Structure 1
Amino acid sequence: MKTTTIEIEEVAVILKLLGDKTRLTMMKILDGGACCVCEFVEIFQMTQPAISQHLRRLKDMGLVQEEKKGQWVFYSINENNVYYPFVTQILNQLPSQKDKLKDLEKQGKRISCC
C-alpha cells in the first residue's frame, strides 16, 4: 500500500475541521454509509441550513461527496480523497454511531426521504 505524506499544515486544517463534535459525529455516521441532510437534521436537532453548513465545510475539504437522488441529496465519505487513510485512522478510534440511525428507523424518519 502506497503511503502519502500529508503536510503538517494540511493535518492541522483537517484536525480543526474534525475538532467540531457535530462534524466528527457526521463523519463517523457516514463511515457506515450515505445519509441525507434531513436525517442529520433529525439526529442533531439542528436546522437544515446549519447542517448544510457543516456538510459544506466537509465537502470543501473533499472529505465527503454528495449524490442527488430526486429531490434529496445524500452524503458519503469520499474514499478517493488523499486524506481518506488519515481520516479513517481517526474514525476507527471512535465508538459506533449506528444507534442514531437505528433510532431514526424506529421513528420512521430514516425512510421518509429515501
Structure 2
Amino acid sequence: MMEIEKMADICKLLGDKMRLTILTLLRERELCVCEIVDIMQTSQPNVSQHMRKLKAGGLVKEAKRGQWVYYSLAIADKPYLHELLQTLPTPSMLTAISCEQGSCCD
C-alpha cells in the first residue's frame, strides 16, 4: 500500500505542466537553474519552488557549483517514469539556451 501512496504523490507532481516539462528537459541533460529560468521564461523563485517539490519527491538531484545549482534526473529507482518520459516529445526550447554558450551563470 505504501508503494501506491508514493506513486500517487509522484503522479501529483507530474500533474503540473511546468514540472512535467522540466523533467522532460532534464531527460536530455543536466541544466543550471538559470537555464531553466530562461527556457521556461519564468522567474527564478518560481523555478526554485518547482525544483524543491521535484527534489522532495525524489525525482531530481542537485549539484552546487559556485553560486549556481545544477539539476539532473534522479529516477533510476522509478522505471515506470523512464517509459513515461520517453514518450513525451523533447521541448523545442531546449536548444535555445545554454549556460556554456552564454553568460547567464557568470
Shorter-chain TM-score range: 0.7 to 0.9
For residue 28 of structure 2, what is the aligned residue in structure 1? 32
Residue 54 (structure 1) aligned with residue 50 (structure 2): yes
Off by >4 Å, runs of 4+ in structure 1 = none
Conservation of the 8 A alpha-carbon contact between 2:63 and 2:69: yes
Deviation string 1:60-114 (CA, Å, 9 cap, x unpaired) is 011100001112110000144x32x1211110110012x3121124xx8853227
For residue 3 of structure 1, what is the aligned residue in structure 2? none
Conservation of the 8 A alpha-carbon contact between 1:65 and 1:75: yes
Equivalent in 9, 14, 39 of residue 10 of structure 2:
14
Conservation of the 8 A alpha-carbon contact between 2:60 and 2:73: yes
- The amino acid across from 2:93 in the alignment is K
In 2, the alpha carbon distance for the partners of 1:100 and 1:10 equals 31
CA RMSD of aligned residues (A): 2.2
Which runs of no fewer than 5 residues in structure 2 stay unpaired? none
- The amino acid across from 2:102 in the alignment is I
Deviation string 1:20-48 (CA, Å, 9 cap, x unpaired) is 00000000100111101111111111111
Q: Sort the Cα spacing of 1:58 and 1:45 in 2 relative to 1 into closer, same or farther, 3 A.
A: same
In 2, the alpha carbon distance for the partners of 1:110 and 1:75 equals 18
- TM score, norm. by length of structure 2: 0.86
- TM score, norm. by length of structure 1: 0.81
SS for the counterpart of 1:62 is: coil
Conservation of the 8 A alpha-carbon contact between 1:64 and 1:77: yes
Which runs of no fewer than 5 residues in structure 1 stay unpaired? 1-5
Total equivalences in the alignment? 105
